[in-house]
Structure 1
Amino acid sequence: MRFKFFILSILLGLTANAQLIVKGKVVDEFDNPMPFVNVFIQGTTTGTTTDDDGRFAFRTKKRKGVLEISFVGFQTQTITITPKTKFLNIVLKEGSDILDEVILVTKPKKRLKKKENPAYKILKEVWKRKRKNGIDLVDHYQFKKHTAIEIGLNNLDTAFIKQIFKKDYKETIKEVKYDTDGINYYIPIYINEQIAKVYGNNKNNDEREDIEAEKSEGLGAQGFVFDRMSRTFQNVDVFRNNITLLRKSFVSPLSTDGFATYDYVLYDSVVQNNTKLYNIYFFPIRDQDLAFKGNFWIADKAYTLKKLRMEVVKGANLNFVRGLTFEKEFEVRNDSIYIPTKNAYEGDFTFLDKNEANKGLTIKKTINYSDYVLDKPLADDFYKGQIQKIRPDQYFRSDEYWAKQDIEDNQDTYKLISSVKGKKQIKRLTGFINTISSGFVNLPFLNMQVGPFWTAFASNEVEGFRTRLGFRTFNTKDDRFRLSGHLAYGFKDKGLKYGLEAQYLLSYEPRISTSVAYQNDIEQLGSALLNTTQLLGRTFGSTALFSRGNNFFLSKVEKYASNFDYAVHNNFHIGFNFSHSRIQSASPENFSASYLDDLGNLQSKVVDVASDVYLTFTPGRFVYGLGVEQRFGRNVFPSIVINYRHGYKGFLNGTHEYDKIQIKYNQPILLGKFGLLDTTIEGGKVFGTVPSSLLNAVPANQSFSLVPNTFSLLNFYDFVTDQYVSTHFEHHFNGFILNRIPLLRKLKLRSLATFRAAYGSISDENRAINDGLRNASNTENILYNAPNQVYYEYGFGVENIGYGNLRFLRIDAIWRSNYTPPSNSIAVPTPKFAIRIGIRPDL
């Protein structure tokens, strides 16, 4: 045993002597420890990186070698090591590395506690000052702003280029730009440039932006989708704790709560223009979180942001989005004031999945800031004035004007777009994008579109299988005149239905529009409580393809209507509607909407002659289009609608005089990393005695799809009220819960919760004109039930369901409170629980 122990001791000693232990510490010239410094033996992969205290230690089988100590921004050192080397004290001196050097940094395997991370000390100083630094420090400011938006097709190979240009391929390929990968090609199809002057008054918190010039070229005018997609890059303020993109809240890397979402790595520091800059990288802790990865440079002493580059992580899985990249650059003045000099945003959109080999759509938005003037005040009234764009050609300027501007020359891009926009393949591709987003198919030879395709087929108990063809005139999205309509046919009732609406923009400034419409169609009345400018009925109750149970509660509506809309501001409208409607049951043998008139006689038709005065206020909403038709962005904004309606009896044979007032308020609330809470509160009251078709039916939904602001477990006309209030709450957690469950987070699903409630009543007078008819008629009437006890539904759901890049499905499980449904013979039992499906693309 002693001999074996002796031999073992000798072997262990030889092994130990064969290994060289290298230890040391790395500091800078000011004796500050330097973490994450590379310490390797030249010609090998043996080595390590320093810890938070700048220390390192590793073993090597080599008896000697040359140790290389390197850190970007510092001079590389080499030291010869031998068995006699004990402990190395290494001082690195700053080098002359420039800011734009390409660096590869990976996410740390071991996560440091916040206070142990050297980046924390720097970020603490940034948080203290981020509300103090910048142009907010001065009372008044001015600057010039040049914005360029470019849209193009990316990831194109030579076969695709040859197919487009054919005989001109050899000449054109010289002009075509390479994509970001430097291998495939990129072809621009649209460009828009704008020059503006911005004036700010921090004393009164006023800012004015005057557009000076604008020009564009390409295929973007064909639809609203390009405007909507380019607005993806609106208001990206990294100094806020949360950044809103596509109605989702992303945690900013400069957030005071950033360490709950990100891992930070203080990589190195450099000196630029006598200013020391810290380079900090950030990575999301969970790849599925709505977060970014990238790096930023912080100036020493003032702790101001010099430069930032970040991109949305692919795990966030946004519909149609393959990548979003953001770059911001700032100029530091007087060690305290930083001013933006450049913002560069780029989005990469694909249809099916995020495969890098697929063709996609690139949107680039670059904003350059120049000609700053600080602390030069103008009159207070000047800052309150705003010059808005009201006409498509309002800011057209000559080529001579643009030639004098000291901006990046995009003439090659304009030239290439001019030659590309007439190509059939490009037109087909952009037409497909517009069709997917709007539902309309272009017929360019007629300046017309047909659609939307999702209303082409439907089914209900009255019409049976129903087909519908919609159409509208369309030259560009800024058309001043628009004619739209539809033809529909029911194979059961063998009836032809139709509607036609003409809209015209009377004035650009102030914005005044008018429209007239005629309709003879079948509608599901009561599927929506409040409507302002929609003249033609587009109710889902009669246009759903699949529904539960049966539904004979449909009305035949012949309507003449007109609208006059005055825009006090882009998002503040006052309007007036006047309509004449003849309303009767679409299936008298099954459902009677009859009522007793003042003489006690049975009447089956209502003639509703009414006027509406409405007010809509939507502060912060994005509006697209300068023509009579506009589209609205899906950004986060509040909405207030107030409508007053008066019915006329006797005038134009109107059968009832009444007054109705309704108010609706919607407020999406971003709760940072906890998601988005979408809240809606609505209420109304009818003054007067009127039949069911003029009262307020609590909006039911008998389809299998989810419809906003409706109740999925009610039947149509279960509740009819003359005064009501309803609330709808829908909270989208945006992955906050499911991303933290190890097995589920790989599926990239997101959870949500819903709660809806309604309360209302009906007067004895309104009950009396209908309730007595059940014995006098062979058909069942609506029972005037009202939710005089709060009726509510609640549910839980999962969204972001799909495949690849298409994840716009959601599934909700919904329960309801107990209530006694009407005992109509034609009604179907109301379920207490249901599963419903929703479809909602993000863009």
Structure 2
Amino acid sequence: MKLNLAILLLVLTTTIQAQITIKGKVVDEFDNPLPYVNVYVKGTTYGTTTDDDGSFSFSSKKKRGTIEVSFVGFQTQTFKITPKIPFLNIILKEEANVLDEVVVVTKPKKRLKKKENPAYRILKEIWKRKRKNGVDLVNHYQYKEHEAIEIGLNNLDTAFVKGIFKKNFDEAIKTINYDDDGENYYIPIYLTEKVSQVYGNNKENLKRVDIEAEKEEGLGAQSFVFDRMSNTFQNVDVFKNNITLLQKSFVSPLSSDGFATYDYVLYDSVVKNDTKLYNIYYFPIRDQDLAFKGNFWVSDKNFSIKKIKMEVTKSANLNFVRGLTFDKEFILKNDSIYLPSKNNYIGDFTFIDKNDANKGLTIKKNISYKNYVLNVEKPINFYDVEQVKIRPDQFKKSNNYWNQHHDNTTKSTYKTIKTVKGKRKIKKLTGLLNTITSGYVNLPFNIQAGPFWTMFAQNEVEGFRTKLGFRSFKTKDDRFRISGHVAYGFKDKEFKYGAEARYLLSFQPRITTSIAYQKDIEQLGSVLFNTNQLLGRSFGTAALLNRGNNFYLSNVEKIATNFDYAVHNNFHIGFNFTKANIQSATTPDNFSINYIDQNGIEQNSVTDVASDVYLTFTPGRFVYGLGVEQRFGRNIFPRIVLNYRHGYKDVLNGTHDYDKVQFQYNQPLLLGKFGLLDATVEAGKTFGTVPISLLSPIPANQSFSLVKNTFSLINYYDFVTDTYAATHLEHHFNGFILNRIPLVKRLNLRSLITFRAAYGTVSDKNRAINRSNLSYNTPDKMYYEYGFGFENIGYGNLRFFRIDAIWRSNYTPAAASIAEPTPMFAIRIGIMPGL
């Protein structure tokens, strides 16, 4: 998500409307006042509950819409809002054959200890059974699942809609729906559906999912952005203690530690079909916490959840989120098992702030389950079949098929999308979103220019540097893609360039190949290794503002090729072959890479001819796109990379024979309400005698911005190693600490702490051939940096900034001949847009 939502929402903001006051009283048929009745403007957060006398009063910015009056056991009533709404005298009638017993327990003004709370006994029984629910209670199961994801523009006023349809407004308005508040309009712009047959074996922990049909329509069908938005809501498991949502951990209302986060109120109980159901409401103790408010119904026989509603509070420490609601319903099967029947997720996102008057973006995800078959055993080898989608139209079905699966509402949505997707104003909105999130601008002939955020940079060799990139792009599923760039330095007056062509050889198994050529400047001391990235993209030549002087740049002319085989979407085996000519990009006085060759002759350049074999494993990662270029989701997943490199001497004029083994493991860990720990460990060793250009400098960062897995308080080439180990730890508290501090919590800031360390050595043989003007210093006593910071800095939803205070260890390398002084403390800024 993150920035993907932000720019589209920028153009959807309107001014605040005047408020109206709504007053009234609610009584039953015998004129008895009804306390705690819900009185709300439907689809909004405007509303209240009646007091002990049945009276209510609240303000609303909505001048039109529907007031809904509801109370368990009584028939719900609705009223239209008018500009001069009168005092409402409302009589609620009791529902027949529904309510046999009502026990009203008001929320105490003072928090009760959990053992004193009437809801505690029920929750204890839920906790005992939470590990086995629904289909987990049977040995074998199967069912049909229908998933629909819709994205649309909400809270649109009449003027905006007229601007879209112009002369056809009167006709179009007949098909455009109102928002839930019944006041402004909602226009869908993208809809995708999937029907699947699901089979499971709980005895062997096996599962098989067969996709039966897929359908997609709308402006997002050709971009990665809407794929990512479509996966905003993964299926929420309310029985887990913590729920992962938007890359953050929310405490489940059914958590065994829920009383530390929620106030629970046993509201009432209902006897229905000889089963007693308890209705429990829950509220976050602190509104800023990542938690929900809502209620759930639970059976008294087996303490299974019948229905649960969850809503993220508007005050929660989340950006761009005006509203998130989740509804889950369960059906009773075989008189003892509650099975999922329906999941509804709705997200309402705005750009500048969460004001109800602003236009926004709605994402809806609806999942229905039916045709359950329980305890019908399938052979074990039945589950060996894995269905893999390899073509965009692989599961396309006829209109006759979808007519059987669509209701009138869905058919109307598709009709509306087909109408609006050709409208110029809507295409501009979605085009702007795609441009900002990808960094590329559409040009004629299926060419895109970008990314624009690397267009300008500054360094001591090139001076002011400008760079223009390009790529071919017809659809997200292009089988062939070419990309490249042209750069120019205003100080050295040199053009640099590079290009890469990639082709998808096979859909199944997925095999890609690519070839690239580059003649450009690189900062070889800023990264330790990469796998299938052929063109150099080091930040050392891309930063606009830097600390100190950086002459440590190299001219690199290389040709490279890659072959990548996907054993699985998240398990790749690859092979690279490169030939690179490397020289210093400046004079020897500023930066030299000289060395003594095997004949005792001093050389000033390296020809590196090498091959790489790598393995990458990313279990649980979301992958989008079926073409040669794929995109990856922002969900939480580990990453393991193993790379073996061999250098060839005398092959294509290669100058060195060596071997290098490198390993990296990244593991983000969600620690419940305590936040997210992002941990990385990496290590490597070079076997053979090689010059500085082929060794492994500890990655430095001399820019004033934060860069992942680098050290901010050392200079490029301060530490040069052939054997190294490093770790990078960042813990993001996600507001856990600052939400508990009075006054400070209003700022919606989030705190974090960091720790980075490196250890390394270099052999005597590699020291002996060094004739550069840099000394080979190594962190053989371990070098480390530590700090703390604040993120989510900004205004309203525009909280893109992070500030870190960083200190370093006292271990300082011996002074090199051209080394810049290194600070002991620094403040660094990061631009990290997020929710």
Short-chain TM bin: 0.7 to 0.9
Q: Return the offset for 1:405.
A: 3.5
Contiguous gaps of at least 5 residues in structure 1: 1-37, 50-56, 60-69, 77-92, 775-780
Instruction: Tell me what 1:18 maps to.
Output: none
The 5 A counterparts of 1:661-680 are 661-680=661-680
Instruction: Tell me what 1:703 maps to.
Output: 703
Amino acid corresponding to residue 285 of structure 1 in structure 2: I
Residue 708 to residue 386, structure 1, CA distance change in 2 (3 Å): same
The 5 A counterparts of 1:358-397 are 358-397=358-397
Residue 420 to residue 686, structure 1, CA distance change in 2 (3 Å): same
Instruction: Tell me what 2:160 maps to.
Output: 160
Indicate yes or no: 2:298 matched with 1:306.
no
Q: Return the offset for 1:105.
A: 12
8 Å Cα contact 2:317/2:735 also seen in 1: no
Corresponding residue SS for 2:555: strand
Q: Return the offset for 1:320.
A: 2.5
The 5 A counterparts of 1:144-183 are 144-183=144-183
Corresponding residue SS for 1:488: strand
Q: Deviations over 1:120-141 (max 9, x none)?
A: 1111111111223311111100
Contiguous gaps of at least 5 residues in structure 2: 1-25, 38-50, 54-69, 77-92
Instruction: Tell me what 1:748 maps to.
Output: 748
Amino acid corresponding to residue 786 of structure 1 in structure 2: T
Quick check: which has more Rg, 1 or 2? 1
The 5 A counterparts of 1:489-504 are 489-504=488-503
8 Å Cα contact 1:96/1:270 also seen in 2: no
8 Å Cα contact 1:506/1:514 also seen in 2: yes
Residue 426 to residue 41, structure 1, CA distance change in 2 (3 Å): closer
The 5 A counterparts of 1:34-45 are none
Indicate yes or no: 2:748 matched with 1:764.
no
Q: Return the offset for 1:41.
A: 14
8 Å Cα contact 2:775/2:817 also seen in 1: no
Amino acid corresponding to residue 413 of structure 1 in structure 2: T
CA distance in 2, matches of 1:371, 1:478: 34
Instruction: Tell me what 2:267 maps to.
Output: 267
Amino acid corresponding to residue 309 of structure 1 in structure 2: K
Q: Return the offset for 1:72.
A: 3.1
Amino acid corresponding to residue 576 of structure 2 in structure 1: N
Residue 44 to residue 403, structure 1, CA distance change in 2 (3 Å): closer
Q: Deviations over 1:654-688 (max 9, x none)?
A: 00010000010111111111111111110000000
Instruction: Tell me what 1:227 maps to.
Output: 227
8 Å Cα contact 1:94/1:271 also seen in 2: no
Corresponding residue SS for 2:286: coil
Corresponding residue SS for 2:778: coil
Q: Return the offset for 1:316.
A: 2.3
Instruction: Tell me what 2:517 maps to.
Output: 518
CA distance in 2, matches of 1:343, 1:689: 61
8 Å Cα contact 2:774/2:817 also seen in 1: no
Amino acid corresponding to residue 188 of structure 1 in structure 2: P
Instruction: Tell me what 2:451 maps to.
Output: 452
Instruction: Tell me what 1:290 maps to.
Output: 290
Corresponding residue SS for 1:111: coil
Residue 433 to residue 97, structure 1, CA distance change in 2 (3 Å): farther
Instruction: Tell me what 2:243 maps to.
Output: 243
Residue 600 to residue 749, structure 1, CA distance change in 2 (3 Å): same
One of 761, 773, 784 as aligned partner of 1:792: 784
| C-alpha RMSD over aligned residues | 2.5
Residue 187 to residue 729, structure 1, CA distance change in 2 (3 Å): same
Amino acid corresponding to residue 541 of structure 2 in structure 1: S
Instruction: Tell me what 1:648 maps to.
Output: 648
Corresponding residue SS for 1:143: strand
Instruction: Tell me what 2:635 maps to.
Output: 635
Q: Return the offset for 1:224.
A: 1.5
> Percent same amino acid at aligned positions?
72
Residue 317 to residue 48, structure 1, CA distance change in 2 (3 Å): closer
Amino acid corresponding to residue 801 of structure 1 in structure 2: I
Residue 533 to residue 815, structure 1, CA distance change in 2 (3 Å): same
CA distance in 2, matches of 1:330, 1:705: 49
8 Å Cα contact 2:343/2:366 also seen in 1: yes
Indicate yes or no: 2:823 matched with 1:831.
yes
TM-score (norm 2): 0.88
Indicate yes or no: 2:808 matched with 1:816.
yes
8 Å Cα contact 1:596/1:603 also seen in 2: yes
The 5 A counterparts of 1:174-213 are 174-213=174-213
CA distance in 1, matches of 2:532, 2:520: 18
CA distance in 2, matches of 1:316, 1:782: 52
Q: Return the offset for 1:314.
A: 2.2
Amino acid corresponding to residue 616 of structure 2 in structure 1: T
CA distance in 1, matches of 2:142, 2:255: 28
Instruction: Tell me what 1:507 maps to.
Output: 506
Q: Return the offset for 1:435.
A: 2.2
Instruction: Tell me what 2:86 maps to.
Output: none
Corresponding residue SS for 1:329: strand
CA distance in 2, matches of 1:231, 1:609: 42
CA distance in 2, matches of 1:108, 1:399: 56
CA distance in 2, matches of 1:836, 1:106: 50
8 Å Cα contact 2:105/2:266 also seen in 1: no
Amino acid corresponding to residue 249 of structure 1 in structure 2: S
CA distance in 1, matches of 2:177, 2:139: 44
CA distance in 1, matches of 2:787, 2:237: 34
Amino acid corresponding to residue 114 of structure 1 in structure 2: K
CA distance in 2, matches of 1:406, 1:546: 56
CA distance in 2, matches of 1:506, 1:338: 47
CA distance in 1, matches of 2:497, 2:107: 61
8 Å Cα contact 1:73/1:97 also seen in 2: no
Instruction: Tell me what 2:20 maps to.
Output: none
8 Å Cα contact 1:321/1:349 also seen in 2: yes
Amino acid corresponding to residue 796 of structure 1 in structure 2: F
Q: Deviations over 1:337-363 (max 9, x none)?
A: 111001111111222221221111111
Amino acid corresponding to residue 206 of structure 2 in structure 1: D
Residue 487 to residue 629, structure 1, CA distance change in 2 (3 Å): same
Instruction: Tell me what 2:142 maps to.
Output: 142
8 Å Cα contact 1:682/1:727 also seen in 2: yes
Indicate yes or no: 2:535 matched with 1:543.
no
8 Å Cα contact 1:391/1:508 also seen in 2: yes
8 Å Cα contact 2:774/2:818 also seen in 1: no
Q: Return the offset for 1:177.
A: 1.0
| Equivalenced residues, count | 760
Instruction: Tell me what 1:125 maps to.
Output: 125
Q: Return the offset for 1:238.
A: 0.7
Q: Deviations over 1:261-291 (max 9, x none)?
A: 0111122222333332221111111111111
8 Å Cα contact 1:552/1:826 also seen in 2: no
The 5 A counterparts of 1:671-690 are 671-690=671-690
